[in-house]
Structure 1
Amino acid sequence: MGVATLNRHSLLHTCTLVVLVFLSVGSSRVHADDTTSTVAQTNWYRAIMQLVARHLPPTTTSHHVELLTPAETLQPLLSCPNIHARFSREPQRLAGRTMVTLSCGDSLRDNPRFVQIDVSVIGNYLVVTRDLAAKHTLARNDITIEQGDLGRLPRYALLATPQAMQQVIGQQLRRALSQHSILQENLLTKPQVVNFGDELVIEARGKGFQITRTAEAMDTGAIGDIIRVRLNNKQLIRVKIVAPGRAEPAQ
Structure 2
Amino acid sequence: MKTRFYSIFFALLASLIGGINVTAAADLQTQLERFFHARFPDKQTSLTVVVKTPQEQWPQCEAPLLALSNNTRVWGNVSVSVRCGEQRRFIQTEVQVTGNYLVSARPLRRGVTLTAADLRQTTGRLDLLPPRALLLPKDAMGAVLLRDLPPGQPLTSAMLRRAWVVKSGQTVQVLAQGVGFSINSEGKAMGNAAAGQSVRIRMASGQIVNGVAGEDGVIYIAQ
- In the superposition, the TM-score normalised over structure 2's length comes to 0.72
More displaced stretch, 94-103 vs 61-70: 94-103
Indicate the residue corresponding to 1:82 in structure 2: 62
Q: CA 1:216 to 1:39, structure 2 compared with 1: closer, same or farther past 3 Å? A: same
Q: 1:95-106 maps to which residues of 2 (within 5 A)?
A: 95-98=75-78, 105-106=84-85
Indicate the residue corresponding to 1:247 in structure 2: 219
Find the aligned partners of 2:107 and 2:121 in 1 and give their Cα distance: 16
Once the two structures are TM-superposed, the CA of residue 86 in structure 1 deviates from its matched residue by 4.2
More displaced stretch, 229-238 vs 179-188: 229-238
1:232 counterpart letter in structure 2: A
2:142 to 143, 153, 170: 170
Maintained 8 Å contact 1:125/1:146: yes
Q: 1:4-83 maps to which residues of 2 (within 5 A)?
A: 42-56=23-37, 57-58=39-40, 59=42, 61-68=45-52, 71=55, 73=56, 80-82=60-62
Over aligned residues, Cα RMSD in angstroms? 3.3
Identity of aligned residues (%): 28
Q: Find the residue that maps to 1:121 and give its secondary structure.
A: strand
Bigger Rg, structure 1 or 2: 1
Indicate the residue corresponding to 2:8 in structure 1: none
> Larger helix proportion, structure 1 or 2?
1
> Larger strand proportion, structure 1 or 2?
2
1:186 to 158, 167, 173: 158
Q: CA 1:240 to 1:120, structure 2 compared with 1: closer, same or farther past 3 Å? A: closer
More displaced stretch, 193-202 vs 86-95: 86-95
Indicate the residue corresponding to 1:122 in structure 2: 98
Maintained 8 Å contact 1:47/1:85: no
Q: Find the residue that maps to 1:63 and give its secondary structure.
A: strand
Find the aligned partners of 2:221 and 2:82 in 1 and give their Cα distance: 52
1:155 counterpart letter in structure 2: P
Q: Find the residue that maps to 1:138 and give its secondary structure.
A: coil
Maintained 8 Å contact 1:51/1:85: no
Maintained 8 Å contact 1:195/1:220: yes
1:55 counterpart letter in structure 2: F
1:203 to 163, 166, 175: 175
- In the superposition, the TM-score normalised over structure 1's length comes to 0.65
2:193 counterpart letter in structure 1: G
Q: CA 1:120 to 1:44, structure 2 compared with 1: closer, same or farther past 3 Å? A: same
Once the two structures are TM-superposed, the CA of residue 184 in structure 1 deviates from its matched residue by 0.2
Indicate the residue corresponding to 1:216 in structure 2: 188
1:108 to 84, 87, 92: 87
Give unmatched runs, 5+ long, in structure 2. 1-18
Q: Find the residue that maps to 1:42 and give its secondary structure.
A: helix
Give unmatched runs, 5+ long, in structure 1. 1-37
- Number of residue pairs matched by the alignment: 202
2:120 aligned with 1:144:
yes
1:44 counterpart letter in structure 2: A
Once the two structures are TM-superposed, the CA of residue 97 in structure 1 deviates from its matched residue by 4.5
Indicate the residue corresponding to 2:133 in structure 1: 157
